[in-house]
Structure 1
Amino acid sequence: MLTLCITPYRDGIWRWTGDRYATADDGSRIEPYRHPMVEHLAVDDGRRCLIVVRERVADRPVCDPSVRHITAAAYDEAHAALADWPADYVAVETIRDEPTRVAAGPCRTTPLYLAHDAVSLYGSWDMADLRSHARQINVREAARLLLYRPRYSHDTLFEGIHRLTERSTAHFGGHLYLRYPEPALHTGPHELAPGADVLGAFVQALDDALDLRPLDAPRTVFHLTGGFDSGTAATRAAQRHPGQLNTAALLISGPGRAQQVRRRKAMRAAVPFGARDDVVDAAVEVPLQPGCARVRGEPVSPYEEPLHRPFTVVATRIAEHGAHTVVTGLGGDEMVALSQAEHPHRASGRMEDADGLPWIGHRVGE
């Protein structure tokens, strides 16, 4: 959602230049990603400056990006109001003679990676932008990825590059300190009240999430994989916007391919989607072919492998057809997964699972 380079402890005055926020004296800059679903704003009280890049919500005009000069009390109110924003945001706060703070909201849908040198903090939504700061492989994170057991944390595959997770705050004043949020509250399953409309509540939750965003149906594509998560979101949206929502997908290889084809066909036949369905075959757009970014020597984030090439083709086709927004589904399995206390089961990603993975060596278990 943004890129940044900030040198703290300077008295530079932030200004909006037309495509970025910048200071004249030290070269600090914050460049929002230009997209119809993103907006940005800034307030300054003479000592503090708060710059927010956020996901837009429906029924609100786009913010004026110019830096507004306000009183200290109004600044405090604006800062407190961040907690009420219902969509994704990143807030950057610079304070005279204090470390810079970068905070992420709770509705995290976009990435932000951070790195630093002795004087400046760097950040980008694209990890490849920070490749000069990567010192060496983070062995623990590499082991997790090799064992198919990733963790959502500040760690990335490279020492020197960090991930700003939801509700986290980064403090930088020459050294980078990342603070995790307080643990989220959890609850166990409850008995349903008599006559509870579970399906109705679920549909309402979907509608609320869709209505929150200013989706332009003709320029929105639904990522219809054939799975339950994306399928549920897409079919409900198609019911509400009949004939307007086109679809796209990456066709996988292997034993699930026939099932994916069958399920996607059934979903598109069940509700009135748009006429266009952009499908890219992963068995054709394979890695390391002449058009692949890897072959051309371009940097590729390890979190986008091995499907970087086919997904790039999907995104290119969607953009060529005039769409600028893709909606997908993610996380359904995690949301309804039972804990060990609710249902004892064998954890995934154990070292015993490595027997069938020929790339796993002895260091993964150490």
Structure 2
Amino acid sequence: MIKLRIHPRDIAGPWTWTGRQWQAGTSWIEPYTHPAVEVLGPDDTSPAMIIRERCPTLTGQPHHVGWPGDFIAIQPSNGTMWIEAGVRGVAPLYLIVTDTVLYGSWDVADLAPSLRHAALNEHEVVRQLSTTFRYTHDTLWQGLHWLTERSQAVFGAHGLGMRYPLPAAHGRPRELTAGADPVAAYEQLLDLALSRRVYDPATTAVELSGGLDSANIAASLGAAHPGQITAAAMIIVGAAGVQQQDRRRQMIDLFRLGPDVTTKMIDNLPLRPDGRRASRALITPYDELYDEGKTTLLGLLHSRGVRTVATGIGGDEMVALTAAELSRAPLGIDPLDLPWTGPHSRDLRGGFDTGTAPASIVNEVTLLATACVAPPILRAGMWPIHPLADPALIRFGEWLPYSWRYLKRLHVARLERVGCGPYLVDPPLRENFEPVMDEALHRHGAAFLRAMLDRGSPLIDDGYLNPDELAAAATRIADGTPAPGDNSVCNVIALEAALSSFGHAESPTPVPA
């Protein structure tokens, strides 16, 4: 939502608004320019500079901590600058101090000059390699901090301090009253969440993958704006991709959506030679694994004048089962037990929860996802909205009985009510990106791994990875005979590509225990 450069001597101001930035001396704070974003202050009533999402029903209202959109509040006080994040985490903010100056951005790539020689955070390295992500101020680099929801950053002559908020309270499942209609309540809350966002339906796209979450958003947007909302998707490979296209066509007609914009993943495979990772162009460790396809799709949307992208992020977490309701742990391979895992990674197995944030209002997994998808959307000149991550819908989901959350019954029932049959809510073929990644690894991944092994990597030097086992995995993948779990090597490739692009040549320094 913002980018900034603040020198300690400029904190006291005065801060002057130029129409694009607040400026004081050599320091500046630049909000993201978009119709969905507004700026307030400082003025006679408050020294704070506020960057927030517009809310159509609260136009012109003063700012407050319960503002129903995302926001960043920045306020000088007694020689220090306080920066506070809102609840929603629509756009991340990363902060780092270099030569006593504070730099910040929603895009880690902007901070590359400060990171080229920064030491790595060993706990975050293992989280990245094993996809055991945690919501935390920590990032892959020591000294680079993520301002998580409701957190505060305090900057001054003595450096940068980070403060977590108190844990958020959450609800528990309840029993429905006689005659209650959860689907009708769901529709009303979803419409309310959309009404609080600023968007022009003629320049709005919905990410309609064909899944339950995005389909519910598309159904609401289509009902509110018939024929105007653009549908967008990355089309997966094989027979499941043919099915996905057919189901999407039916949904577009049923929901009364407008134009359909797609990109085929077979033409935009991860690690393709002209992609950012394969060409060793600058790419962050927080960019999506499917960056090639997403970037192509966003480019197509941009060329059509799209300014707002609605997603289904948060739908899984909204109706998730509680730990007590899960009968067993999810099945799968522990990434730290894969053969290419090095001894240092295994030694750090117990450090996954080091420094994590307290309970958030929006689910931590949702916040991790929104932070991942925002930068490419913002780079393309668009603003993301995530209606299923609205706190009111989250609370509603927490209150629902088990039967309405099990197998996402609420999302299914709502789609059935608007006319979706079994083919649309429970298709015969499973639609996901696993075959896309399998194809990408077979075509391009083995060569990438071999190049990595030839030139060396700090991830190998410091024992995070086992080079012999990586070489064996590369051979299996190239031969088309991968072992179970071999597709997880994509996490290794993504991290290595990011480190290479940022120019890391030295080994990471372990974080003190």
Do both share a fold (TM > 0.5)? Answer: yes
Structure 1 window deviating more from structure 2 (135-144 vs 262-271): it is 262-271
Q: What is the distance in 2 between the residues matched to 1:360 and 1:228?
A: 35
- Per-residue displacement from partner, 1:196-233 (whole Å, max 9, x unpaired)? 12111100111011111122110111111111111111
Q: What is the distance in 2 between the residues matched to 1:171 and 1:128?
A: 23
Contact in 1 for aligned 2:222/2:256 (Cα 8 Å): yes
CA shift, 1:255, in A, is 7.8
Show the counterpart of 2:223.
Answer: 239
User: Could you tell me which of 62, 68, 73 is aligned with 1:91?
Assistant: 73
Q: What is the distance in 1 between the residues matched to 2:8 and 2:302?
A: 38
- Quickly say closer, same or farther: Cα 1:126–1:205, change in 2 above 3 A: same
CA shift, 1:358, in A, is 5.1
Contact in 1 for aligned 2:85/2:150 (Cα 8 Å): yes
- Quickly say closer, same or farther: Cα 1:93–1:256, change in 2 above 3 A: farther
Give, as a single letter, the amino acid of the residue that structure 2 aligns with 1:138: N
Give, as a single letter, the amino acid of the residue that structure 2 aligns with 1:220: T
Show the counterpart of 2:377.
Answer: none
* 1:90 match: secondary structure: strand
- Quickly say closer, same or farther: Cα 1:262–1:62, change in 2 above 3 A: farther
Q: What is the distance in 2 between the residues matched to 1:251 and 1:129?
A: 30
Give, as a single letter, the amino acid of the residue that structure 1 aligns with 2:42: V
Show the counterpart of 1:101.
Answer: 82
- Quickly say closer, same or farther: Cα 1:117–1:296, change in 2 above 3 A: same
- The 5-angstrom pairing of residues 1-366 of structure 1 reads 1-8=1-8, 10=10, 11-24=12-25, 27-45=26-44, 49-59=47-57, 81-97=63-79, 99-134=80-115, 135-173=118-156, 174-253=158-237, 257-274=241-258, 276-289=259-272, 291-294=274-277, 297-346=280-329, 351=334, 353-355=335-337, 357=338, 359-366=340-347
Contact in 1 for aligned 2:218/2:255 (Cα 8 Å): no
Structure 1 window deviating more from structure 2 (293-302 vs 155-164): it is 293-302
CA shift, 1:262, in A, is 4.1
Give the length in aligned residue pairs: 343
CA shift, 1:349, in A, is 7.6
Show the counterpart of 1:72.
Answer: none
* 2:3 match: secondary structure: strand
Show the counterpart of 2:400.
Answer: none
* 1:303 match: secondary structure: coil
| Structure with the higher strand share, 1 or 2 | 1
Give, as a single letter, the amino acid of the residue that structure 1 aligns with 2:91: T
- Per-residue displacement from partner, 1:113-163 (whole Å, max 9, x unpaired)? 111124221110101111223213322122122222211221222222111
* 2:309 match: secondary structure: strand
Q: What is the distance in 2 between the residues matched to 1:209 and 1:82?
A: 19
CA shift, 1:193, in A, is 0.9
Q: What is the distance in 2 between the residues matched to 1:187 and 1:350?
A: 32
* Unaligned runs of at least 5 residues, structure 1: 64-77
* 2:42 match: secondary structure: strand
- Quickly say closer, same or farther: Cα 1:323–1:131, change in 2 above 3 A: same
CA shift, 1:87, in A, is 0.3
Q: What is the distance in 1 between the residues matched to 2:320 and 2:331?
A: 12
* Unaligned runs of at least 5 residues, structure 2: 348-513
CA shift, 1:249, in A, is 0.9
Structure 1 window deviating more from structure 2 (252-261 vs 199-208): it is 252-261
Contact in 2 for aligned 1:8/1:94 (Cα 8 Å): no
Contact in 2 for aligned 1:130/1:161 (Cα 8 Å): no
Q: What is the distance in 2 between the residues matched to 1:360 and 1:269?
A: 48
CA shift, 1:288, in A, is 4.3
| Structure with the higher helix share, 1 or 2 | 2
* 1:84 match: secondary structure: coil
Greater relative contact order, per chain length (Cα 8 Å cut-off, separation 6+): 2
CA shift, 1:178, in A, is 1.2
Q: What is the distance in 2 between the residues matched to 1:177 and 1:256?
A: 49
Contact in 2 for aligned 1:143/1:364 (Cα 8 Å): yes
Contact in 2 for aligned 1:114/1:122 (Cα 8 Å): yes
Give, as a single letter, the amino acid of the residue that structure 2 aligns with 1:18: G
Contact in 1 for aligned 2:21/2:28 (Cα 8 Å): yes
Q: What is the distance in 2 between the residues matched to 1:60 and 1:339?
A: 35
- Quickly say closer, same or farther: Cα 1:297–1:17, change in 2 above 3 A: farther
Q: What is the distance in 2 between the residues matched to 1:127 and 1:176?
A: 18
Give, as a single letter, the amino acid of the residue that structure 2 aligns with 1:3: K
Contact in 2 for aligned 1:90/1:105 (Cα 8 Å): yes
